[in-house]
Homo-oligomer: A and B are copies of this chain.
Amino acid sequence: MKASNFFVSTYKEAPADAEVVSHQLMMRAGLIRKVSAGIYNYMPMGLRVLHKVEAIVREEMNRAHAVEMSMPVIQPGELWQETGRFEKMGAELLRVKDRHERDFVIQPTSEEVVTDVARNELRSYKQLPVNFYQIQTKFRDERRPRFGLMRGREFIMKDAYSFDKDPAAAQISYQTMRQAYREIFDRFGLKYRAVAADSGAIGGDLSEEFQVIAATGEDAIIYCPESDYAANIEKAEALAPTEPRPAAAAALTKTPTPGKSTCADVAELLAIPLQNTVKSLVLATELLDDAGEPAGVQIWLLLLRGDHDMNEVKVSKIEGLNAGFRFASEAEILEHFGAKPGYLGPVGLLKPVKIIADRDVAVLSDWVCGANEVDFHYTGVNWGRDLPEPDLVADLRNVVAGDRSPDGKGVLAIERGIEVGHIFYLGTKYSKAMNATFLDVNGKPAFFEMGCYGIGVSRLPAAAVEQNHDERGIIWPDAIAPFTLVICPIAMDRSEAVQAAAERLHAQLLAAGVDVILDDRGGRPGAMFADWELIGVPHRVVISERNLNEGQLEYQHRRQTESQKVALDHVDAFLREQGVY
Find out whether the CB atom of B35 lies under 8 angstroms from the CB atom of A113: yes
Chain B residues with Cβ below 8 Å from A568 are none
Closest to A112 in B: B35
**Nearest CB on B from A523, distance (A):** 12
Find out whether the CB atom of B121 lies under 8 angstroms from the CB atom of A33: yes
Main DSSP-derived SS at the A contact region: mixed
Q: Answer whether residue A68 sits at the interface, using C-beta atoms and an 8 A cutoff.
A: yes
Chain B residues with Cβ below 8 Å from A36 are 72, 74-76, 102, 104
Chain B residues with Cβ below 8 Å from A143 are 99
Give the segment of A42-50, A239-247, A526-534 that binds chain B: A42-50
Q: 1/0 per residue A67-111: CB within 8 Å of B?
A: 111111111100100000000000100111011001010100000
Closest to A123 in B: B9
Find out whether the CB atom of B35 lies under 8 angstroms from the CB atom of A121: no
Q: 1/0 per residue A336-373: CB within 8 Å of B?
A: 00000000000000000000000000000000000000
Q: Answer whether residue A311 sits at the interface, using C-beta atoms and an 8 A cutoff.
A: no
- Complex partner residue of A35 from B42, B44, B75, B95, CB under 8 angstroms: B75
Chain B residues with Cβ below 8 Å from A116 are 35
Find out whether the CB atom of A41 lies under 8 angstroms from the CB atom of B71: yes
Determine the distance from Cα of A143 to Cα of B98 in the docked complex, in whole angstroms. Answer: 10
Chain B residues with Cβ below 8 Å from A70 are 41-42, 47, 50
Find out whether the CB atom of A74 lies under 8 angstroms from the CB atom of B106: yes
Chain B residues with Cβ below 8 Å from A9 are 121
Interface residues on chain A, number (Cβ under 8 Å): 49
**Nearest CB on B from A440, distance (A):** 20
Determine the distance from Cα of A43 to Cα of B106 in the docked complex, in whole angstroms. Answer: 19
Find out whether the CB atom of B69 lies under 8 angstroms from the CB atom of A42: yes
- Complex partner residue of A74 from B47, B95, B139, CB under 8 angstroms: B139
Find out whether the CB atom of B137 lies under 8 angstroms from the CB atom of A71: no
- Complex partner residue of A68 from B47, B67, B96, B153, CB under 8 angstroms: B47
Determine the distance from Cα of A553 to Cα of B510 in the docked complex, in whole angstroms. Answer: 40
Q: Answer whether residue A332 sits at the interface, using C-beta atoms and an 8 A cutoff.
A: no
Chain B residues with Cβ below 8 Å from A50 are 70
Q: Answer whether residue A56 sits at the interface, using C-beta atoms and an 8 A cutoff.
A: no
Which of A6, A75, A104, A116 has most B Cβ within 10 Å? A104
Find out whether the CB atom of B137 lies under 8 angstroms from the CB atom of A73: yes
Q: 1/0 per residue A317-328: CB within 8 Å of B?
A: 000000000000
Chain B residues with Cβ below 8 Å from A6 are 67
Determine the distance from Cα of A120 to Cα of B7 in the docked complex, in whole angstroms. Answer: 13
Q: Answer whether residue A130 sits at the interface, using C-beta atoms and an 8 A cutoff.
A: yes
**Nearest CB on B from A374, distance (A):** 42
With known contacts A33-B121, A132-B7, A47–B71 Cβ distance under 8 A: no
Closest to A66 in B: B5
With known contacts A7-B130, A33-B120, A73–B71 Cβ distance under 8 A: no
Residues 195-212 of A at the B interface (beta carbon under 8 Å):
none
Find out whether the CB atom of B69 lies under 8 angstroms from the CB atom of A41: yes
Q: Answer whether residue A147 sits at the interface, using C-beta atoms and an 8 A cutoff.
A: no
**Nearest CB on B from A28, distance (A):** 13
Q: Answer whether residue A141 sits at the interface, using C-beta atoms and an 8 A cutoff.
A: yes
Chain B residues with Cβ below 8 Å from A75 are 35-36, 39
Chain B residues with Cβ below 8 Å from A69 are 7, 41-44, 47
Determine the distance from Cα of A383 to Cα of B518 in the docked complex, in whole angstroms. Answer: 71
Q: Answer whether residue A65 sits at the interface, using C-beta atoms and an 8 A cutoff.
A: yes
Find out whether the CB atom of B94 lies under 8 angstroms from the CB atom of A35: no
Q: Answer whether residue A154 sits at the interface, using C-beta atoms and an 8 A cutoff.
A: yes
Find out whether the CB atom of B74 lies under 8 angstroms from the CB atom of A154: yes
Q: Answer whether residue A117 sits at the interface, using C-beta atoms and an 8 A cutoff.
A: yes
Find out whether the CB atom of A73 lies under 8 angstroms from the CB atom of B72: no
Query: Can you name 9 A-B pairs with beta carbons within 8 Å?
Result: A35-B79, A36-B76, A39-B75, A39-B76, A41-B72, A42-B70, A44-B67, A94-B96, A99-B143
10 nearest A-B residue pairs (beta carbon): A96-B96, A42-B70, A36-B76, A91-B99, A5-B65, A44-B67, A7-B67, A39-B72, A99-B141, A72-B154
Besides A35-B75, A94-B98, 7 new A-B residue pairs in contact (Cβ under 8 A), listed by A number: A39-B72, A39-B76, A41-B113, A47-B69, A47-B70, A72-B154, A95-B96
